[in-house]
Amino acid sequence: MFSAFRNAFRIPDLRKRLVFTLGMLIVWCLGRGIPTPGIDGRALSEFFRTAAGTSGTLFGLIDLFSGGAFTTGGIFALGIMPYISASIIMQLLTAVVPALEKLAKEGESGRKKINQYTRYGTVVLALVQSFGISAMMSNPGNFNGTVIVPNPGWSFRLMAALSLTTGTMFIMWLGEQITERGMGNGISLIIMAGIISRLPSAIGKTVYLLKIGTLKPIALIFLLVIGLGVIAGIIMLTQAQRKIPVQYAKRIIGRRVYGGQSTYIPLRVNQSGVIPIIFASSILMFPATLAGFLKIGFMQTLVGYLAPGAWLYNLLYIIMIVFFAYFYTAIVFNPVDIADNMKKYGGFIPGIRPGRPTAQFFDFVMTRITLPGALALAFIAIIPTIISSGMRLPYLVASFLGGTGLIIIVGVALDTVKQIESQLLMRHYEGFMKKGKMTGRR
């Protein structure tokens, strides 16, 4: 990996792309420090630091993807979550709405149209979420009497909603610029940068726990070994795939022979990525978030059972991750379309008849390989809660030993390195062709 980065900086075009990517990420980091008009950022961060915090609530998930901007009241407080939600909703609608499904099959023009709808959805979701957050912060009762907004009112709500929505749209624009002119997927890189930005705080807390004797050096070594093992497991889960052999029949068109080659179709074991964890976390965190506002007795009891680390929380977490893994895989993977495309171009699986039997075979294989992938994903997801409750460590420290953050970091890093290596390989071939350039006849 390091040799690939070193070689990439030797090529002017790749160097420009990498520098541009780093520059956009620096702009994002600087933007996190811009406060939202009307919000006392110091009071808000102090409340989350000394009082309930955001762990176990939806605000914790928002704060994770915003790189900590939510707890400081910055204009990037919503982060990229509205865009992620809009993208997921659009994917679900594409699978159930015939007009959108037809649009998705129109190639580049259809993809641009769907991206445009996703942007519109992002604006709507950001406005709704930002208005709700501004209304919540206007009430000191939601923060144990702490005044977060000195001058509440409709003027503040409108200004805060406009500022937070603009911040989200600016982050989305930064991500698109990185994807187009930089290296890697811009949105994913911004999410990864937000998660990594919490690493210094986690290291600081770990050092503090070592100083006061709460965390022993032997336990720290044990945690490091676990972290390395989890990273290796995430890499294996991300790269794991089932290769289905495909044979294309020979076709004679005029005097030319087409087809006849053998290839394969890779089916990923973890087809749904990190989406099941996000869905399951959002659902399980909703009661805790609601209980913080309602202050009802049975809600407080329910939150106790659904606290991170509780046996009921872990059980429901695993069940939901497995369910959403199958659900999302069924949305994004269409065996009928794959079978029809193979039949259209003369492809077939050895021993399987084209058409409906091929679609049934793909569905059978994907159903079988999704289960171990979902269980592995669920196991990685609950590692931080187990370590946090079992070893009495802050969740911020345990979150870098597994869970959503580590899966995103490893997945995005692998994808970015692959893109850099493919660009290096392409440049290498171009250089080889230039040296061996053939001269024409005179």
pLDDT at 58 over 90: no
Domains, the chain: 1-197+410-442 (1.10.3370.10), 208-401 (1.10.3370.10)
Average pLDDT over residues 229-252: 86
Instruction: Tell me what the pLDDT averaged over the chain comes to.
Output: 81
- Cβ-based neighbours of 366, under 8 Å, separated by 6 or more: 267, 271, 329, 333, 335
Distance in angstroms (rounded) separating the CA atoms of residues 48 and 392 = 19
- Cβ-based neighbours of 233, under 8 Å, separated by 6 or more: 376, 380
For the four alpha carbons of 22, 25, 27 and 30, in that order, the dihedral sign comes to: negative
Question: Confidence class of residue 373 from pLDDT cuts 50, 70 and 90?
Answer: very high
Q: What is the CA radius of gyration of the chain?
A: 25
pLDDT at 396 over 80: no
- Cβ-based neighbours of 370, under 8 Å, separated by 6 or more: 269, 271, 325, 326, 329
Q: What is the pLDDT of residues 416-435, one digit of tens each?
A: 888 887 777 776 544 334 44
Q: What is the pLDDT of residues 144-174, one digit of tens each?
A: 778 888 888 888 889 989 999 999 999 999 9
Distance in angstroms (rounded) separating the CA atoms of residues 182 and 132 = 34
pLDDT (0 to 100) of residue 433: 40
In the three-class reduction of DSSP (H, G, I as helix; E, B as strand; rest coil), residue 247 is classed as: strand
Helix, strand, coil abundance in the chain, percent, nearest 5? 70, 5, 25
Q: What is the pLDDT of residues 197-222, one digit of tens each?
A: 888 888 888 888 888 888 888 988 98
Q: What is the pLDDT of residues 297-347, one digit of tens each?
A: 666 666 666 766 677 888 888 999 999 899 889 888 889 888 988 888 778
Average pLDDT over residues 262-289: 81
pLDDT (0 to 100) of residue 367: 92
pLDDT at 375 over 90: yes
pLDDT (0 to 100) of residue 304: 66
- Cβ-based neighbours of 204, under 8 Å, separated by 6 or more: none
pLDDT at 71 over 60: yes
pLDDT at 442 over 60: no
Distance in angstroms (rounded) separating the CA atoms of residues 416 and 192 = 11
Distance in angstroms (rounded) separating the CA atoms of residues 271 and 121 = 25
pLDDT at 437 over 80: no
Which contiguous run of DSSP H or E holds residue 246?
strand 241-248
